[in-house]
Amino acid sequence: MSSSSGLVASIVASAIALCATISAQTPPAGFTYEQLSVGGLASATAMAFLPDGRLLITERETGNIRLFRAGALQAAPWATIPVYSGGPWSEAGLLGIAVDPAFLDNHYVYVYHTVAGGGSNTITRLEEQNGVGVGATQLIPNGQISANLYHNGGAMVVGFDGRLYVATGDAQAGASAQDTNQWVGKVLRFALPDLTVPSDNPFPGSPVWSYGHRNHFGLAVHPVNGDVYQTENGGALMDEVNRILPGGNYGWPIVEGNEATPNPALIDPLAWYQPTTAPTGTCFYTGDHYPSALRNAWFFTDYNQNKLRVLYLDAAGSNVVSSALFDQRPGSGYGIVSGPDGNLWYLTNDNGGYGADQLGRYVHANEPAASVQLSSVSQKTLGASATVAVHAHDGLLCVSWLSLSRYPVPLPTPFGNVWVPGDAPLSVQAFDPDHRAYVGFPVPNLPAFLGSSLHTQAVVVDVAGQLTMTSPSDLVIRG
């Protein structure tokens, strides 16, 4: 991870992880960590939600894409990609996953992986048919993104613009990160679904969006300004978290961490860490169920110390105002996602046999007994999709509805307060064993909707036939 020697990094990380496992702490007051799957995964690296609430999880060594559905990890893989993994301490294999914004129409999912035989990383597109991923189509030719045992990158995220952003490591060839003609040590930006180069990229005809990166594991889209944010492992000096700007040079291998003497040609990180922590997966919290101070807060996992950290940015997203340790769990933190149920989902990795491959989520006591969450799992909403998730411990069925307006004051009814006019009712949904009901729906590609808010509310029918109305949930339409 952060050391220039993979063996040294492994030994040090193992010792730190063992101590961290022994001294694991609890999350902040009001939060509960729910273990959703302990064991059953092998070197889990990344995860992405589908619009209907199912979760896809990648396994680095096996090349399996696993499916978590209805509260349980499914035994059969959703798909398997042939990969070169390089063994238990390697950073090669199946490394990243992203869902197409138009998944409800085209059923496409993208994965970043090291090709069988090694030497090259690529992006492959799959299509879901009958509940599994088929039709694997390699979209990046072999040799375009060099691979190594370490520093392969692999994180992928879709932006408000519907473009796919991809993190590539320097493949242990640091000078290549400064060469904009090479695709390693970069954040790349592609148009979907065929990974063509957008005409507004900063280097004409090139997918390069930013450069000067060493070894990065996390990309996230700011829920307000739409910029991409990144976690990056340094050498033996400093790790970084960055705001990625088009055409920006982030310094590697000229400098890592904060510059002693600022160079206007280079972009300094928003924060840096010494001793190194190996920041990995990252996301912004976009749900309704946590305390308001955490809305739009930036989370990232800490691989070396098994910690989950949170950063609070200023309104512009250009400075870190404060930071805190959120929690510490067994295993090496590898992924964090703001889920469609309004909770943070957390993934750990047992790299090398220590820790635990585990999937869990953080829930907060303030979440109402019956609640609804409206979200867009692919960041882009306009012309893409959105997800309604209803949660009720004693729920049997629910009916949710949508509107582009919301009443200024609640309208009391025998079942609860109505906040959202019933302009567009959705189908009746049954709750799964996880006490949740999900429905994904397409959002029309109408430019007049851009920037407006979509509102939802739901009525839950419990096993006794009683009706409970949830509070509303809102989503700004991005695109």
Residue 322 sits in the same domain as residue 355: yes
Instruction: Calculate the alpha carbon distances from 357 to 74, 297, 352, 406, 427 in Å.
Output: 15, 25, 11, 43, 36
30-44: b (≥16 Cβ within 10 Å) or e: ebebeebbeeebebb
Task: Kindly state whether residue 437 falls inside one of the protein's structural domains.
Answer: yes
Percent of the chain whose pLDDT exceeds 90: 83
Task: Kindly state whether residue 26 falls inside one of the protein's structural domains.
Answer: yes
Give the pLDDT of residue 303.
87
- Domain end, chosen from 330, 364, 398, is at 364
Residue 432 sits in the same domain as residue 313: no
DSSP per-residue string spanning 343-379: SEEEEEE-GGG-S--EEEEEEETTS-SEEEEEE-TTS
Domain that holds residue 465: 370-476
How many structural domains does the chain have?
Answer: 2
Residue 15 sits in the same domain as residue 84: yes
pLDDT tens digits, one per residue of 50-70: 999 999 999 999 999 999 999
- Domain end, chosen from 307, 338, 364, is at 364
Residue 314 sits in the same domain as residue 436: no
Task: Kindly state whether residue 442 falls inside one of the protein's structural domains.
Answer: yes
Length, in residues, of the chain = 479
Quick check: 14 pLDDT over 70?
no
- Domain end, chosen from 364, 392, 420, is at 364
Residue 458 sits in the same domain as residue 333: no
Domain CATH number, residue 182: 2.120.10.30
Quick check: 19 pLDDT over 70?
no
Residue 133 sits in the same domain as residue 20: yes
Quick check: 189 pLDDT over 90?
yes
Task: Kindly state whether residue 68 falls inside one of the protein's structural domains.
Answer: yes
Task: Kindly state whether residue 251 falls inside one of the protein's structural domains.
Answer: yes
Give the pLDDT of residue 421.
97
Residue 357 sits in the same domain as residue 383: no
The mean pLDDT of 80-84, rounded to a whole number, is 98
Residue 249 sits in the same domain as residue 375: no
5: pLDDT confidence band, cut at 50, 70 and 90? very low
Dihedral (Cα; 174, 87, 302, 20), 10-degree rounding:
-140
Domain CATH number, residue 455: 2.20.130.20
DSSP per-residue string spanning 58-89: EETTT-EEEEEETTEE-SS-SEE--B---STT
Residue 69 sits in the same domain as residue 193: yes
CB 100, CB 378: distance < 8 Å: yes
- List, in sequence order, every residue forming a beta bridge with 239; answer none if it has no partner: 273
Instruction: Calculate the alpha carbon distances from 231 to 107, 169, 179, 335, 453 in Å.
Output: 29, 12, 21, 11, 30
Does a cis peptide bond (omega within 30 degrees of 0) precede residue 204? no
Task: Kindly state whether residue 1 falls inside one of the protein's structural domains.
Answer: no
Taking alpha carbons only, the member of 343, 243, 368, 363 closest to residue 285 is: 343
Residue 406 sits in the same domain as residue 345: no
Task: Kindly state whether residue 335 falls inside one of the protein's structural domains.
Answer: yes
**Lowest-pLDDT choice from 167-176, 243-252, 272-281, 400-409:** 272-281
Which residues does 161 contact at the CB level (< 8 Å), separation at least 6?
226, 380, 479
The mean pLDDT of 364-389, rounded to a whole number, is 95
Supply the Cα-derived Rg of the chain in whole angstroms.
22
What's the mean pLDDT when you consider all of the chain? 92
Rounded to whole angstroms, the Cα distance separating 232 from 219 reads 10
pLDDT tens digits, one per residue of 324-340: 999 988 777 889 999 99
pLDDT tens digits, one per residue of 104-119: 999 999 999 999 999 9
Residue 389 sits in the same domain as residue 358: no
Quick check: 236 pLDDT over 80?
no
38: pLDDT confidence band, cut at 50, 70 and 90? confident
Quick check: 444 pLDDT over 50?
yes
Give the pLDDT of residue 209.
98
Task: Kindly state whether residue 41 falls inside one of the protein's structural domains.
Answer: yes
How much of the chain is in helix, strand and coil states, percent to nearest 5? 5, 45, 50
Residue 325 sits in the same domain as residue 242: yes
